[in-house]
Amino acid sequence: MSQGLFSLQNRLYLLGALASLSLLAGCGTANTIGHQLFGLNSGGSDSSGTAPSVFGYAVADEPQAALVGQDILNHGGNAVDAAAAEGFAQAVTLPSRGGLGGGGACLIKMPDVSGKMQPPVMLSFPAGAPAGNVGDRPAAVPLLARGLLAMQARYGQLPQSAVIVPAERLAGEAQVSQALEADLGVVGNALLADPQAAAIFAPGGQSLAEGATFQQPDLASTLENLRVGGVNGLYAGTNAAQFAEAADAAGGGLTAQDLLNAVPKYGTPDITTQNGYEVASLPVATTGAGEALPASASFMALDKTGGAVICVTSMNNLFGTGRLAPGTGVLLAASPRTSPAPELAAAMAYTTGSYAFRASVSGTGQNEAAEAARIGLENALAGQNVPVPEPGRANIISCPGNVPGGEASCRANAAPGGNGLAIGGR
């Protein structure tokens, strides 16, 4: 991430937006979150000289989301709380690849209530196909929020509202990052053909540039519904009916029953061994030869217990259908009936038996996502630096001394050229 992305005023705004977490978490005022900001994409020490208040790392493909994750860790949250908050925040700041209208999958390795680390599990919440096949721009059933809420409800330790508040505030006002600007440059005028999208991403008739502020008040209202009502804030009752009606107005062809029926599913990840460690991975999708795959985005977190989460999301197409459901602020993902399945690539290495954390890697970059994750993990475990083939990107958290126990050996890196941020340490 290049230096100068945000002005001092904008940095202070984001700090203020995150400060409310201290109230929700029962802590004091928010700590300064300026360590390693804006210009550094690797973590392991603090460029400002002020150490994080707790050990932990947050990494995301959009910097504001990573900052939210670190702040959650600093205010008593575990890796699941941090990852869930990153996911909601990135839905606001990088809706092109991880909006509420999309879906994804996570690898989760957390301790039980006694503190004993448990084997990793997989949570799958893809942006799925609706029961019908209607609409002039068929949309996927949105599962991102439901997946993040399910994960946080099972493993989180903060109030569920705490992981939504930062995203809700960012929806009130966020900054255009390099990552979002780059995606806006790819879609060009196609996205802006939708008046709802144009009002957000090109309020003056031209796509917003890096560093500009943008506001999504309707999305803030949708997030408020989720904060107040939990899953029912979008997926049941009147809220589901209203969202389905809005999606139908955008040509999506969704029904309230689609929203009610779509649920995230826990499962067992693929397990292999590598360099003396066990490795849990998201299953690799089988694709047709030469078929261009949708873009994806990732976020991850590691906490002081060695709890770790990696999530990868997609809209099944860059900016999904290119249309927002009116009045909701939600950009609709493309139906899997009209788009190929994205490559959701992530892997986590740990010690056999004790499940002590060693490394986690996410892979993005369309058709090179799985290869990016493979090379990234090999680099982390073997201490090498093999380049990842373009357009692949690998975000990494690596702890050669394992966690807990060897926290001083840890380091995190956001992929060079990927415009994300890795932050944390101690």
Strand partners, 412: 43, 397
Q: Which is nearest to 174 in space by CA: 232, 216, 206, 143? A: 216
Give the CA radius of gyration of the chain: 19
Burial letters 237-275, b for 16+ CB under 10 A, else e:
eebbebbbbbbbebbbbbbbebbeebebeeeebeeeebe
CA gap 70, 51 in Å, rounded? 12
Strand partners, 395: 362
> Residue 342, CB half-sphere, CA atoms under 13 Å: how many?
36
Q: Which is nearest to 303 in space by CA: 83, 24, 62, 43? A: 83
**Mean pLDDT score, 10-15:** 42
Q: Is the CB of residue 320 less than 8 Å from the CB of residue 103? A: no
Q: Which is nearest to 131 in space by CA: 139, 120, 123? A: 139
Give alpha helix (H) positions in 208-319: 217-229, 232-235, 237-249, 256-261
* Backbone angles phi and psi of 69, in degrees to 5: -60, -45
Q: What is the 3-state secondary structure (H, E, C) of 88-105?
A: HHHHHHCHHHHCCECEEE
Q: Which is nearest to 401 in space by CA: 346, 360, 348, 357? A: 357
pLDDT at 288: 61
**Weakest-pLDDT range from 5-14, 323-332, 386-395:** 5-14
Strand partners, 296: 314
**Model confidence at 95: pLDDT above 50:** yes
Q: Is the CB of residue 364 less than 8 Å from the CB of residue 315? A: no
CA torsion sign, 104 to 400 to 350 to 56? negative
**Model confidence at 249: pLDDT above 80:** yes
Could you give the angle at the alpha carbon of 321 between the alpha carbons of 315 and 326, nearest 5°? Answer: 105
Backbone dihedral region for residue 136 (phi beyond 0: left; psi -120 to 50: alpha; all else: beta)? alpha
User: What confidence tier does 149 reach under pLDDT thresholds 50, 70, 90?
Assistant: very high
**Model confidence at 1: pLDDT above 50:** no
CA gap 221, 100 in Å, rounded? 13
pLDDT at 48: 35
Q: Which residues make Cβ contacts (< 8 Å) with residue 310, sequence separation at least 6? A: 83, 106, 107, 298, 299, 300, 346, 347, 348, 360, 361, 362
CA gap 268, 179 in Å, rounded? 32
SS3 424: strand
Burial of 426 (0-12, 13-18, 19+ CB in 10 A): middle
List, for residues 24-55, the tens digit of each pLDDT value: 333 322 232 333 222 223 344 333 334 567 89
* 50 vs 296: which has the higher pLDDT: 296
CA gap 81, 56 in Å, rounded? 12
List, for residues 110-127, the tens digit of each pLDDT value: 999 999 999 999 999 999
pLDDT at 38: 27
Per the listing, tokens 């928010």 go with: 30
CA gap 86, 288 in Å, rounded? 32
User: What confidence tier does 391 reach under pLDDT thresholds 50, 70, 90?
Assistant: very high
> What share of the chain in percent tops pLDDT 90?
81
What are the angstrom distances between the C-alpha of 120 and each of 108, 299, 310, 359?
5, 17, 11, 13
**Model confidence at 334: pLDDT above 80:** yes
Structure tokens at 2: 């290049």
**Mean pLDDT score, 337-356:** 95
User: What confidence tier does 132 reach under pLDDT thresholds 50, 70, 90?
Assistant: confident
Q: What rounded mean pLDDT belongs to the chain?
A: 88
CA gap 66, 399 in Å, rounded? 19
